[in-house]
Structure 1
Amino acid sequence: MAYLEVEDGKRVFYEHHAGAGRPVVLVHGWAANARCWDTTVSALLAAGHSVTTIEHRACGRSDADFTDTSIGAIAGDVVALVEHLGLREPVLNGWSLGGAVIIEAARRLGSNLGGLVLTGGATPRYTRTEDWPYGGTPDDVEGVLAGLAADRPGTFRTVAEAVCAKPVGEPTVQAIWLAFLESGPRSSDTLRDLAQIDQREILPTLTVPVLLLCGREDGFVPFDAVAASRTMYPDARLVEFGGVGHAPFLEDGETYRTELLGFLARLGS
């Protein structure tokens, strides 16, 4: 494990596991941490891939007292880590809010990008507008944040219980909840930023292969939103996980890993 200094002496936490295969960078969702990827990391390493995980500003083992915890700032950290490690044409995999992060990181990486995986990715928009009829509203987001301000453990427990549609067992729900509780107060600003950004103009510029992995019963990022986004990419494939919620890698891990490894195999080293 290691830390990368990214701003005014403040650091983000990362792990880099060497491998001869295509490098993969895993970016977690809002208020979570890199431990959510444990089974995914194991499968990628077994297949020979280089694997890097990063924890957002104000999440997990990264410093909590960043001033800027926006999507753009976190995407900048992903880019800085790719450059710091000298990764060549990595595949970025973003879960939930991490999906918006990797879209912005992909825009900045330009030609040094091998592919994208959106795991219930909250992109191109998380909230609905007149011309994007999917998701909730910024007021809904503010309601969640108000709940955190009044009762952080209770609100995060409710969110943790809503992540999965399939039964995953109390230990998994507990792990999600405890990860949420590790996040700092500035993580609220990250979610608030997600409620405002619009990445629709970016998607058509991303010419790399894209894999969209989404649960049909996702209660945070509607499946119909992901399906609508598929046509915005020049080269994208959508995989639907029936009966699955917001975390297909936890709810149907075997299928998830098969799809992910198959996508990487098609890309080559």
Structure 2
Amino acid sequence: MGYLEVEDGRRVYFEHFRGSGRPIVLIHGWGATARCWDTTTPALRTGGNEVVLLDLRACGRSDNDFADVSISALGSDVVKLVEHLGLREPVVNGWSLGGAVAVDAAVKLGSNCSGVVSTGGATPRYTSTSDWPHGGGVDDVKAVLGAAAADRANTFKGVAEAVCAEPPTPDAIAWLWGMFMEMGPLGDESLLDLAELDQRKILGGLSVPVLFLHGRKDAFVPFSGAEAARDLCTDAKLVEFPDAGHAPFLEDRDTYLAELSGFLKR
């Protein structure tokens, strides 16, 4: 574990597990922390992969008072971390909002990126437009953030309860809820930025393979959006998790790990 200074003395937290296999950077979703990958990391390490995790700006153990918490800033942090650790051609894997961060980082890494994984990823758009009929609207995002401003604890408990298609155990909900409650208030601005972001052009321009791992019952990022995202790419595969919601790595871990491991061995 360590901290990397990325903006005016502010730092992001990271963990680096060395291995002889292909490096992979795991990027959590909005409000979560690196701990969301705790059932994924052990299998990757067993497979010999070099694994890097981080807490995004304003989340978990990273500093909360950044001036910039945009998706672009978060993507730049991933690039700085890759360079700091000397990783060679890593795969970047992002969950939910982290999917947009992974795409941003992949573009900036250029030839030093070997693949992108979108795990229920909110890319290339999180909100709908006249030519992107997938997802809710910007006003829906603002309504969630307004509710959080008035009652953060119960709003985030509701988010935690909606992550999986089938209700997980109370302990699992409490685990997710606890991560969400660690996010500082500036983290809300990351979601606002995501709501306006359009990555269709840069996603379609990626020259690396892309793997979409997406739950058919995802209540946050519609499966139809993942289908449309796949069709934008020149080298992409979409794996459907029929009974999963927004977190296939938690809801169908064995299938998720098999697909991810196969991608890493390409």
Q: TM-score, normalised by structure 1?
A: 0.98
SS of 1:141's equivalent in the other structure is helix
Question: Residue in 2 aligned with 1:161?
Answer: 161
SS of 1:106's equivalent in the other structure is helix
In 2, are the aligned partners of 1:153 and 1:181 still within 8 Å (CA)? yes
**Letter of the 1:153 counterpart:** A
SS of 2:59's equivalent in the other structure is coil
Question: Deviation at 1:177?
Answer: 0.3
Question: Deviation at 1:145?
Answer: 0.4
SS of 1:48's equivalent in the other structure is coil
Q: Percent of aligned positions with the same letter in both sequences? A: 61
Question: Deviation at 1:31?
Answer: 0.7
* Structure 1: runs of 5+ lacking an equivalent: none
In 2, are the aligned partners of 1:30 and 1:191 still within 8 Å (CA)? yes
What is the CA–CA distance in structure 2 between the aligned matches of 1:204 and 1:143, rounded to whole Å? 31
**Letter of the 1:235 counterpart:** D
Question: Deviation at 1:203?
Answer: 1.4
**Letter of the 1:207 counterpart:** S
Question: Deviation at 1:129?
Answer: 0.4
Question: Residue in 2 aligned with 1:75?
Answer: 75
**Letter of the 1:128 counterpart:** S
What is the CA–CA distance in structure 2 between the aligned matches of 1:42 and 1:168, rounded to whole Å? 21
Task: Write out aligned runs for 1:80-91 (5 A).
Answer: 80-91=80-91
Q: Are positions 1:39 and 2:35 aligned together?
A: no
In 2, are the aligned partners of 1:14 and 1:54 still within 8 Å (CA)? yes
SS of 1:226's equivalent in the other structure is helix
Per-residue deviation, residues 54-74 of structure 1 (Å, max 9, x unmatched): 111000000011111110100
Question: Residue in 2 aligned with 1:170?
Answer: 170
Question: Residue in 2 aligned with 1:54?
Answer: 54
What is the CA–CA distance in structure 2 between the aligned matches of 1:206 and 1:189, rounded to whole Å? 27
Question: Residue in 1 aligned with 2:249?
Answer: 249
**Which segments of structure 1 move beyond 2 Å, counting only runs of 4 or more?**
none
What is the CA–CA distance in structure 1 between the aligned matches of 2:150 and 2:58, rounded to whole Å? 19
What is the CA–CA distance in structure 2 between the aligned matches of 1:111 and 1:262, rounded to whole Å? 21
Per-residue deviation, residues 68-103 of structure 1 (Å, max 9, x unmatched): 111010000000000000100000000000000011
What is the CA–CA distance in structure 1 between the aligned matches of 2:149 and 2:55, rounded to whole Å? 23
Task: Write out aligned runs for 1:187-198 (5 A).
Answer: 187-198=187-198
In 1, are the aligned partners of 2:163 and 2:246 still within 8 Å (CA)? yes
What is the CA–CA distance in structure 2 between the aligned matches of 1:259 and 1:195, rounded to whole Å? 29
Question: Deviation at 1:172?
Answer: 1.1
Question: Residue in 2 aligned with 1:92?
Answer: 92
Q: Are positions 1:63 and 2:66 aligned together?
A: no
Task: Write out aligned runs for 1:135-214 (5 A).
Answer: 135-214=135-214
Question: Residue in 1 aligned with 2:18?
Answer: 18
Q: How many residues align?
A: 266
What is the CA–CA distance in structure 1 between the aligned matches of 2:19 and 2:27, rounded to whole Å? 18
In 2, are the aligned partners of 1:64 and 1:186 still within 8 Å (CA)? yes
In 1, are the aligned partners of 2:161 and 2:167 still within 8 Å (CA)? no
Per-residue deviation, residues 167-190 of structure 1 (Å, max 9, x unmatched): 321111111100000000000000
**Letter of the 1:113 counterpart:** C
Question: Deviation at 1:166?
Answer: 2.3
